[in-house]
Amino acid sequence: MALEIKVLDYGDIELESSFLVLGRNCGSTARVPTFGYLILGDDPVLVDTGYRSPEIMASLGMRGLQYHEQLIENQLAKHGLKLRDIRYILHTHLHIDHAGKDDLFPMSTTVVVNRRELEYSVSGLMHPQYPAPDIKHLIDRLHTQNALRFLDLEISGGEEIVPGVICEAAGGHTEGSMNIIVETAEGIANICGDIIYDINDQLIEPFHQTQELEPAVTGNHGTTKRQEKSAIKRALNRGRFICPIHDRPAVVERGQVIGRLHDQVPGPITKSYPKRKWFPA
């Protein structure tokens, strides 16, 4: 069964531009969206839940901007779903803007995280990006039958959660980040979390890079730059579509972005990019 993916819009974040792309426009503010992805098949699966409240973003010196229609229950309602209809929540990682609404969902909705990510969230290494109420709620789930599911992706390899939805270790951004691989009618889509923040400035016109096809790194990686670049390249070579959380999805061919999509995957291409001259037909 081919799965469909809908982009959910949870609101924007204003933050320092170089947080997103290392060294870019230091001192100036950028505004980015925060998305979730709803995977529609037999059992609805939700990837990421956005931030708990606009106010909590101030704890990182950022600003959350959210309209009423961007509340998670209203985003799900656009697709005829209520919170309790979601069978699984998958988290690309547990940062403040990705796992802030789990406590709105019943314990019968199972939250799936890579075990390494929950360990990392309490390591103190990226401390303010893992706020106490979100992580404490996950501990409540840990103590409730079937409310939490751990993966060990670095050791086990990919794990299929429902038919056509596979979690894989991402290898970048945070120590426990995972990619969500989805089998659609037009090929594999890779929901890649914050492995990539900005499609244009990291991939299409990579900021301050001179080597061919060298991605620019973000300003917020808990791994090495080498690991982050490898994670980006792996994500680009994993399927037909890449779906980041803070930028619109893109179409990829042979590791190169050739188009953009808007609010569904697969969906109409809203922008195309010229292929490089050497690009084989």
The footprint of Zn ion (CB under 5 A) covers: 97, 194
Give CA torsion, residues 67, 71, 73, 79, to 10 deg: 60
Sequence-ordered list of residues with C-beta below 8 angstroms from that of 80, at least 6 positions apart, any chain: none
Report the nearest approach of Zn ion to the CB of residue 145 (Å).
30
For β-strands 165-169 and 241-244, DSSP reports them as unpaired
User: Among residues 194 and 228, whose Cβ is nearest to Zn ion?
Assistant: 194
Report the nearest approach of Zn ion to the CB of residue 34 (Å).
7
User: Among residues 33 and 41, whose Cβ is nearest to Zn ion?
Assistant: 33
User: Among residues 168 and 194, whose Cβ is nearest to Zn ion?
Assistant: 194
Report the nearest approach of Zn ion to the CB of residue 45 (Å).
19
Report the nearest approach of Zn ion to the CB of residue 18 (Å).
15
Q: Residue 116 — φ and ψ, nearest 5°? A: -60, -30
User: Among residues 3 and 245, whose Cβ is nearest to Zn ion?
Assistant: 245
Q: Left if phi > 0, otherwise alpha if psi is -120 to 50, otherwise beta: which for 142? A: alpha
CB-based burial of residue 4 (10 Å sphere; 0-12 exposed, 13-18 middle, 19+ buried)?
Answer: middle
Report the nearest approach of Zn ion to the CB of residue 246 (Å).
6
Report the nearest approach of Zn ion to the CB of residue 194 (Å).
4
Q: Is 79 helix (H, G, I), strand (E, B) or coil?
A: coil
User: Among residues 116 and 221, whose Cβ is nearest to Zn ion?
Assistant: 221
Alpha-carbon distance 89 to 83, whole Å? 11
User: Among residues 126 and 147, whose Cβ is nearest to Zn ion?
Assistant: 126
Q: DSSP letters of 20-41?
A: HSTTTTTT-EEEEEEEEEEEES
